[in-house]
Amino acid sequence: MLMQPRPQESVLVTLSGAGIRRQGRWLVRGVDLSIKAGEIVTLIGPNGAGKSTTAKMATGILKPDEGSLTAAAGLKIGYVPQRLSIDRTMPLTVERLMRLTGPLDTATLMAALEQVQAGHLLKAEVQNLSGGEFQRVLLARAVARKPDLLVLDEPVQGVDFAGEVALYDLIGTIRDKTGCGILLISHDLHMVMAATDTVICLNGHVCCRGTPAAVSQSDDYRRLFGDVGRGLAVYNHQHDHTHLPDGRVRHLDGSVTDHCHPDDGHHHHGHDHQHDHDYAHGHGKPTGAERAADHA
Ligand SMILES: Nc1ncnc2c1ncn2[C@@H]1O[C@H](COP(=O)(O)OP(=O)(O)OP(=O)(O)O)[C@@H](O)[C@H]1O
C-alpha cells in the first residue's frame, strides 16, 4: 500500500522567479520555492495573496508567465483544491466520490480510507459528512493514488479546532509513512503545524520564509500581519490520547472515555501550544491557540 519513500533531499518541484499575470496585473510574481520528498512547505498569506495561484503553478495547472517550473520526471501529484465542483446536495456515496477521479481497486480504496480513520464512512452519503469527515475523505482520495507530492489547499477549512489538530496530525503521519512532499496552504494564519519545515509568507510576492518559529519572529511577517492583530502559533502536539473514529478517546493508560478529560467531561486537548507572538488585540475570530486556551 505504501509507496517507497524517495531518498530524502530529492527535489520534487522547483519554481524559479515564477509569476502569473492576468488582465494586466501580476497576481503573484517572483516566487522561488522548492519542495523535497518528505518535506512539508506551508504557504500562508492573506486572502488574494496568490497562494492558490502559486500552488497551481507548482502542480503545473497554471503555466508561469515569468520564471519557470521544474518537476522531477514521472512526478505524481495529488491535489486537493480549495473548492470542489461537487454539488453536495446530490446523492453520492463516499465510495463513488473516491472513484470519481479514476478507477481504484477496493483494497486500495479501503486502505486509504482506513489511513484517515474513515473506513466506516465507505457507504455514507457525502452530503451527510461533517466538515472534518469530508476533508479526511478528500485527503484519502488524493493519498489513494500514492502521490509523490501532495498539495492541500486549505485542508482544515470548515473544520473545528479539535478536527484541525487531528487533520494536521494526519498530514504529518502521511508524510512520515509515505515520504511524500507536501505543499499546504493556509489563509487562516493562526496556526501552522510544527511539522512544517518551511513557511513561505506570500502577499503577491514572497515576503519572508523560514522555519515556523523564525517566520513568526520576523519583522516582515509582523509588518504584514501585525495589523490584523493575529500572529502565528506554532502547534506542537504531545500525544497523550488518541481520538477514536466514533468520537471516544483512548488515553495513554489504555482507558477509553467519551471525552478527552475522563473526569469532568470537559474537552481538554492536552496539546502544547507555543505562542510566539502577540495576537492579543482580538480582532476577528479567536486564534487556534486562544480557542485551545478556552478549552484547556
Ligand atoms: N483567472 C484569474 N483572472 C484574474 N484574476 C485572478 C484569476 N485567478 C485569481 N485571480 C486573482 O488573483 C489574486 C490571487 O488569487 P489566489 O486565489 O491565488 O489567492 P489566495 O492567496 O489563494 O487567496 P484566498 O486565501 O482568498 O484563497 C486574487 O486577487 C484573485 O482575485
CATH code at position 54: 3.40.50.300
Indicate whether 189 and 52 sit together in one domain. Answer: yes
pLDDT of residue 24: 93
pLDDT band at 216 (very low <50, low <70, confident <90, very high): confident
pLDDT of residue 221: 73
pLDDT of residue 231: 52
The predicted model gives 283-293 an average pLDDT of 35
- Cell digits for 246? 466514533
Look at 161 and 226; give whichever has higher pLDDT: 161
| Residues linked to residue 56 through DSSP beta bridges, in sequence order | none
Instruction: Domain of residue 230: give its range.
Output: 11-76+147-295
| Residue 143 to residue 130: CA distance in whole angstroms | 20
pLDDT of residue 248: 63
Indicate whether 250 and 207 sit together in one domain. Answer: yes
The count of domains in the chain is 2
The predicted model gives 206-213 an average pLDDT of 86
The predicted model gives 28-53 an average pLDDT of 93
Indicate whether 136 and 34 sit together in one domain. Answer: no
Identify whether 256 is part of a domain: yes
132: which residues sit within 8 A by CB, 6+ positions away? 158, 159, 160, 163, 166, 167
Dihedral angle, C-alpha 154, 157, 160, 166, nearest 10 °: -40
Identify whether 3 is part of a domain: no
- The residue among 100, 126, 146 that closes a domain is 146
Nearest CA to ligand 1 atom 18: 50
Q: Is ipTM over 0.90?
A: yes
Nearest CA to ligand 1 atom 8: 53
The mean pLDDT value of the chain amounts to: 77
pLDDT of residue 46: 81
Asked if the model's pLDDT at residue 121 lies above 90, the reply is yes
β-pairing, 272-275 with 66-71?
A: unpaired
Indicate whether 128 and 254 sit together in one domain. Answer: no
Question: Is residue 3 exposed (0-12), middle (13-18) or buried (19+ Cβ within 10 Å)?
Answer: middle
pLDDT band at 214 (very low <50, low <70, confident <90, very high): confident
Taking the CA of residue 50 as reference, the ligand 1 atom at the shortest distance is 18
Best residue among 52, 205, 224 to mutate for probing ligand 1, ranked by most atoms within 8 Å of CB: 52
Nearest CA to ligand 1 atom 25: 47
pLDDT of residue 178: 92
Indicate whether 97 and 23 sit together in one domain. Answer: no
pLDDT of residue 225: 66
| Residue 122 to residue 112: CA distance in whole angstroms | 11
Q: Interhelix angle for 288-295 vs 161-178, to 10°?
A: 110
Quick: pLDDT tens for 218-263.
777 777 666 443 455 655 444 455 555 565 666 666 777 765 554 4
| Ligand 1 centroid, distance to 26 Cα (angstroms) | 10
- Residue 49 Cβ inside 6 Å of ligand 1? The answer reads yes
Indicate whether 112 and 229 sit together in one domain. Answer: no
pLDDT band at 211 (very low <50, low <70, confident <90, very high): confident
pLDDT of residue 104: 92
Identify whether 234 is part of a domain: yes
Indicate whether 17 and 93 sit together in one domain. Answer: no
| Ligand 1 centroid, distance to 30 Cα (angstroms) | 16
